[in-house]
Structure 1
């Protein structure tokens, strides 16, 4: 597999929330970089093209888009 990321990701284990259309879905953030993250969902959910990832304990809020998906793990890119 060819590495396409521009920034190295760091392993984390943080609770987060995916927010869109006035609803929130719990997720677990598994790794992060300045440009994106990998998250796990408890159930398979269809996500919109863009959404917001929030990690309350870190005061972290970023607009995102899905880059790849494998079952309940999703790779996301942070939008500028």
Structure 2
């Protein structure tokens, strides 16, 4: 598979929170770059298309939107 991302992603395993509507859903950040991330979640069903990703260990809080969804993973790009 050819790499088509703008920025290379680095593999990681960090706790994060998908924040929207005054609440949040826990997630695990599986890879991360300057332009986006892949997130592992219990279920992607009730996650909106746009939200804020918060990763305390990276001091990261970025608005983003979903670009793909698969079983227990979602891919996002930062706005």
Instruction: Provide the TM-score with structure 1 as the length reference.
Output: 0.90
- Describe how 1:41-52 pairs up with structure 2 within 5 A: 41-52=41-52
| Deviation sequence 1:20-44 (CA, Å, 0-9, x none) | 0011000000001110000000234
Partner of 2:69: 69
Q: Residue 57 of structure 1 aligns to a residue in which SS?
A: helix
In structure 2, the gaps of 5 or more residues are none
Instruction: Kindly report the root-mean-square deviation, in angstroms, between the aligned alpha carbons of the 2 structures.
Output: 1.2
Partner of 1:3: 3
Q: How many residues align?
A: 79
- Measured in 2, the distance between the counterparts of 1:54 and 1:66 equals 15
- Measured in 2, the distance between the counterparts of 1:30 and 1:9 equals 10
- Report the alpha carbon displacement of residue 3 of structure 1 after superposing the two structures with TM: 2.8
- Measured in 2, the distance between the counterparts of 1:7 and 1:21 equals 29
Instruction: Provide the TM-score with structure 2 as the length reference.
Output: 0.91
In structure 1, the gaps of 5 or more residues are none
